[in-house]
Amino acid sequence: MSRFRPDDRDHRELEVLHRLAVELPRSLSVTGVTDTLARELVGAVDRANECTISSWVREHDALDNLSVFERGAGIVEDWRGQRYPLDDWPESRALLEAGNAHREYQADELEWSDEVRAQIREWGWSSWIGLPLVVEGRSVGLVELVDHTSSARWSPRDVAFAQTIASQAAMAVRNAQLYENLRMQVVTDALTGLLNHRAFYERVEAELAGAQRIGADLSVIAIDVDDFKSVNDREGHLAGDRLLRQVAEVLCSLCRETDAAGRVGGDEFLLVMPGLGAGAGAVVERVVEQTFSRAGVRVSAGAACMRQGEPDAASLIDRADAALLAAKAAGKGTFRLSA
């Protein structure tokens, strides 16, 4: 039996539509939009226990989870970013390609593969509605409204309301995606995809302020490709660009989730590593070794750890650069630590 009278539901649905009309255009992040959408759908549809919203990554033929909201738990961060190949979910692919319908699913449907059945059991899904997010006739994502307890068919009212919300939210999701893409172009280096000079310095300033506030460690590593000009002169600029991208890939692979890499000059890179203090020597040594073994190029590197009362990002980076110059003077292909 529903916990709400019909007039209660009418009122709730109108409130949700109003809130979404006001809130969604204000959000400039994709997950800000999808978190709001998932929360409001579960709150408005009495039967729903969960709402999962995914982005359709066409180039990988997959769905990437953006938001998962569960009644009683809120947004489940552990599921954010999970990728699901559409080869395992052909019905979802067909729904996305059609872009103009919805589909109901039951967990006991016979066509599920053993792997998908196991996944559905892990999630606790009994039945759900799938609705594509469509902008100008093109699907950009998928909304799945889930019941954990019943495999009964969904009411026409539940389906119609969810379709209304999906239609209203699709443009907000697309606008947020466009904004994030533009923002990435502003803050990243076009060749390597790493942070550019300005964005990297801003990141170090933010990390420095945070580390000083809580008394944590912070290190910056400066890396320079040895004799890079000779590569351009000998093999051409395309070969030089390819080499820089390879170095960037190695540096990214050495970063933890909390770290950041930037390209701040032609062949100069920087890493900022929150929480790293006494271990900086081992990390910078690994940087030198890995760029040689994996990219086939020698680099010189210097590391600096934040001092008590470090005035700003430029001071910390300058000390890492000075250590880098000392490594160059020592014969290249090596590293030095700032005093």
Catalytic residue ranges: 267
What token pair was written down for 220? 């910056």
Cβ neighbours, 10 Å, residue 117: 13
The answer for residues whose C-beta is within 8 angstroms of residue 145's C-beta and 6 or more apart is 41, 42, 45, 48, 50, 51, 128, 129, 131, 158, 162
Between strands 299-305 and 335-337, the pairing is: parallel
CA distance 334 to 289: 9
